[in-house]
Structure 1
Amino acid sequence: MQKKLQVGILGAGSMGRNHGQQLKSLEDVEITGICSLPLQTADDLAALLEIDCPTCDSFETMLSEVPMDALYLCIPPFAHDGQVEAAAAKGIHMFLEKPIALDLARAESMALAVETAGVITQVGYHMRFQQSVQRFQSMLADGSAGKPVQFQGRYWCNIDPSGWWRDKTKSGGQITEQLTHIYDMACYLMGDPKTAIGWMANLAHTDNPEYTVEDTSVGMLRFDNGSIASISGSNTSAPMHFFGEYRICCENVTMEYRTTGQPWVTPDSATIYLGEEEKEEFVEDKNLYLEETLDFLSAIRENRPALTPIENGVRAIRAVEAVIKSAEQDGKAMIID
C-alpha cells in the first residue's frame, strides 16, 4: 500500500468541513492537523470527522508543528495574508478554495511563491470536473468542436448570510465570491480574456446598511480569439435555489448545461449537440468535491499539474476585477493585461 499523504486543513467553516469529509473518506490520506479561528471551530471539525489530530488557532504554530505534504486553505478571501507564501517556502502542496484572494496583487504574489517553490496547487473550481465539461474540453483540444464563438452563463441565488460575505471589503462581492465559478468556466472553455465590460447594482438590499455587495450584475468578456461571453449574477432569485448554468457555442458543437437550482434534489444535466440530430446527454451526479480532491492528490503522487493550478485562479481574479472596475465606471471597457 502506498504511503499516506499527510494533509492539514486551514479554516473550519463550511468548506473546511466539506473538504475534511472528502479527505476522511480516503484510505491513503491522514489529516494531521486543523487550524481555525476561533479554536473551538477546529476542535468541532476534528470531532465531526472523528479524528484525533492537533488543533490550533495559529497558522505559524501549524506550519512549525504539524507534518504536512499538502494543505487545504479553506479561508475567506480577505483572510489571505501570507499563508500561501509561507507554506510554499516549506515545499507544501496546496488546495485553495476560490477566490484565492481579494485582489490581483495578492493573487499574483501567491502565484509567484508557488512558481518559485515548484509546489503543486489546485483551486476549488469544482465545476470543471463535470462530465460534460471534460467531454466538451476534449473536443476543443482535438479541434472537433471548431472555434469557440460565444458563452452565456448565470449564477442566480437568494441568500442572506451574516458576517463577511455581505461585506464587500471582505468578500469582494458576489461577482468575486460566487460568480467566479462561471467566469472561470468561460475562461476554461473560451481562452484568455482581453476586454471586460460590466454593470452592477444593489437593488433589493438597500435597507440593510451591512449589505454592501452587489445583488445584480452583468459582465461581458471578449477573448483573445475573438469569442464573447456574457455572464449575469443575482442574489434576488428564488430562495434555496442556486442557478449555476451556462451555454457555449462553437463552430461545430454546442453545449447546454442546465440546473433546477437544487442539484441535491434533481441532478444537473447537460446536452452536447453534435449536429441536426446527433447529441450526447449527461446526468451530472458525481461528487465534484471528491473529484477535485482525487485529482489534486494524484497530481502530487504523479508530480504533474492538477486540473486547476493557481495561475487559473489568478486569471479568474484578473477577469472579475476588470468587470468590477468597468461597472464602477458605468460600463467603461477595461483592457485586461
Structure 2
Amino acid sequence: MGDELRVGLVGCGGLGSSHARNVEGIPGARLVAVYDLYREFSERLAGELVGRPVAYFDHQKMLSEESLDAVLVVTPNDTHSKISVDALSAGIHVFCEKPMALTVADCDAMINASEVAQKHLMVGYVRRFQAAYQEMKSRVESGEIGEVTMAHAVRLGMGPPGGQEGWQFKQNRYGGLFSIYSHELDQLAWLGGEIQAVQAMMKFGDDPNNDIEEHIFITLEFQSGAIGSMSSSRTYPVSSYELGVAGTLGAIKLNAPSGPLVKKETGQDAVEIEI
C-alpha cells in the first residue's frame, strides 16, 4: 500500500452510496471503483462522485483489474460471505457491513480467508466508535459501577428499511430482526463480555408476504456469570430505545444512541452525563 489508500465499493444502494461519500471525505483515501449487480446503480453513483470511480458490473473483474487496498462490502446480507472471501483471497482488506453473514459456516469461511490471506476483516458495528458508547464502555471498564451483574437492551418500533416487497423482508436474504438488531447484541457482548448461553422467543405476524419476525425476546448468560436480555420489535407502535448495565456499585444507561448517559451509584441520586 502506497501513500494513497485505494478503495473499492461493492454495493451501490442507499447505504453503499453513503459509504462512498464518506470515503471521499477521508484524506489519503480514494474510491477508485464501484460495483453493483444493477448496472444503472453503479453507473449513476460513479457519475455522481467527485473522484469519478470506474463502474463495474462484475465484482470479480473489479477485484482483478483494480489495484485495491481495501473493499467495502455493502450488499444484501446473504451475499456478504462470498464477496468478502473473494476480496480477501485476492489479497485485499475488507470492511463488511453488519451482520457479518447469516450462518456460522459463512462467518467461519470469512475468518479463515482473512487468516490465510493475512488481511484485515472488519464488520461494521459502528456504535463501538460513537462517543456515547465509548464513554459508557470506559466507565464500565473503569469499575465505576462495580462488577457487572446484568446488561439489557431494548429497541422497539424500528423495523428494517424498504417496502414490504424488498429483500429486507425475506428471511433467507436479510436474516430477520437479527440483522437490524445485531447492533444491540454486539453492544451487550462488548459491555458484558463473552456470552456462553442464549435462550430466545419470537413472534411472527400474519402477512404472507413477510416472513421475518415481528417481536423477539432474548435472555443471555455471560461467562462472568452476569445475565442479560434483549427485547426488540419492528411493529411496536411507539419507538423506544435503552441500553443499560448494572453492577455491584450502581448502573449506567443510554436512552438514545446520542446520549446523554444516565448513571446512578448505590445510595446516590441519578445524574446525567452529557457527551
TM-score (norm 2): 0.90
Q: Give the counterpart letter for 1:78 in structure 2.
A: D
Matched, 1:5 2:5: yes
Aligned twin of 2:146: 146
Matched, 1:248 2:245: yes
Using CA pairs under 8 Å that are at least 6 residues apart, name the structure with larger relative contact order, 1 or 2: 1
Aligned twin of 1:281: 273
Aligned twin of 2:173: 170
Per-residue CA deviation, residues 289-308 of structure 1 (Å, 9 max, x unaligned), is: xxxxxxxxxxxxxxxxxxxx
Distance 1:122 1:81, change over 3 A: closer
Aligned twin of 1:298: none
User: What stretches of structure 1 of length at least 5 have no aligned partner?
Assistant: 284-337
Secondary structure of the corresponding residue to residue 260 of structure 2:
strand
Secondary structure of the corresponding residue to residue 210 of structure 1:
coil
Compute the displacement of 1:9 (Å): 0.5
Q: Give the counterpart letter for 2:184 in structure 1.
A: I
Aligned twin of 2:194: 192
- In 1: Cα distance, 2:63 partner to 2:11 partner: 14
Q: Determine if contact 2:150/2:247 at 8 Å carries over to the other structure.
A: yes
Compute the displacement of 1:51 (Å): 2.9
Aligned length: 270
Secondary structure of the corresponding residue to residue 246 of structure 2:
strand
Pick from 240, 253, 258: which aligns with 2:255?
A: 258
Matched, 1:38 2:38: yes
User: What stretches of structure 2 of length at least 5 have no aligned partner?
Assistant: none
Compute the displacement of 1:86 (Å): 2.2
Q: Determine if contact 1:32/1:67 at 8 Å carries over to the other structure.
A: no
Q: Give the counterpart letter for 2:74 in structure 1.
A: C
Aligned twin of 1:288: none
Per-residue CA deviation, residues 71-93 of structure 1 (Å, 9 max, x unaligned), is: 11111211135222222223211
Q: Determine if contact 1:219/1:230 at 8 Å carries over to the other structure.
A: yes
Secondary structure of the corresponding residue to residue 61 of structure 1:
helix
Aligned twin of 1:47: 47
- In 2: Cα distance, 1:62 partner to 1:98 partner: 22
Secondary structure of the corresponding residue to residue 45 of structure 1:
helix
Q: Determine if contact 2:152/2:245 at 8 Å carries over to the other structure.
A: yes
Matched, 1:213 2:197: no
Aligned twin of 1:14: 14
Aligned twin of 1:95: 95
Superposition misfits of 4+ residues, deviation over 3 angstroms: 139-145, 272-275, 277-280
Q: Give the counterpart letter for 2:225 in structure 1.
A: G
Compute the displacement of 1:244 (Å): 4.0
Q: What's the Cα RMSD here?
A: 2.1
Per-residue CA deviation, residues 157-211 of structure 1 (Å, 9 max, x unaligned), is: 245633211111111111x2111010000000001111111110113xx1x3220
Matched, 1:272 2:263: yes
- Percent identity over the alignment is 24
Compute the displacement of 1:269 (Å): 2.7
Q: Determine if contact 1:257/1:270 at 8 Å carries over to the other structure.
A: yes
Aligned twin of 2:234: 235
Q: Determine if contact 1:39/1:57 at 8 Å carries over to the other structure.
A: yes
Compute the displacement of 1:274 (Å): 4.7
Secondary structure of the corresponding residue to residue 274 of structure 2:
strand
Deviates more, 1:13-22 or 1:178-187: 13-22
Secondary structure of the corresponding residue to residue 178 of structure 1:
helix
Per-residue CA deviation, residues 251-297 of structure 1 (Å, 9 max, x unaligned), is: 234211112xxx7xxx54322335614845134xxxxxxxxxxxxxx
Q: Determine if contact 2:73/2:80 at 8 Å carries over to the other structure.
A: no
